[in-house]
């Protein structure tokens, strides 16, 4: 298991998150835990990001702008971290 720490901004404030990487047969899953109780509760049930064929997929939750904004900020930070570390060749889609 691979663990990463990422920093991201949400609503103009810096935050940190721990990312658990699960490599599966057909994709890679990134399980996010935010080190902020309120944001972690907001993300609940939407904490898994999927990478397929080198692309970090942009899944959204219909009708929930705040969750989608948070996921977008996390996805952007995660993609940047992965690209800069050369851990995986991932780009945000």
> What is the DSSP-derived secondary structure letter of residue 45?
T
Nearest CA among 90, 44, 38, 49 for reference residue 73: 49
Q: Given the structure tokens 């898994």, which residue do they identify? A: 48
* Model confidence pTM above 0.85: yes
Q: Per-residue pLDDT averaged across 9-21, rounded? A: 97
pLDDT tens profile 17-50: 999 999 998 999 999 999 999 999 999 999 999 9
Q: Report the number of distinct structural domains present in the chain.
A: 1
Q: Which domain holds residue 20?
A: 2-92
If you write DSSP's letter for every residue of 52-84 in order, what string do you get?
Answer: ETTEE-----TT-HHHHHHHHHHHHHHHHHHHH
């Amino acid at each position: 298991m691979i663990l990463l720490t990422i920093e991201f901004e949400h609503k103009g404030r810096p935050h940190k998150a721990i990312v658990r990487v699960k490599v599966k047969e057909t994709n890679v899953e990134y399980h996010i835990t935010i080190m902020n109780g309120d944001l972690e509760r907001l993300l609940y049930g939407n904490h898994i990001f999927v990478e397929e064929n080198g692309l970090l997929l942009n899944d959204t939750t219909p009708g929930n702008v705040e969750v989608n904004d948070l996921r977008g900020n996390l996805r952007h930070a995660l993609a940047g971290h992965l690209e800069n570390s050369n851990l995986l060749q991932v780009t945000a889609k």
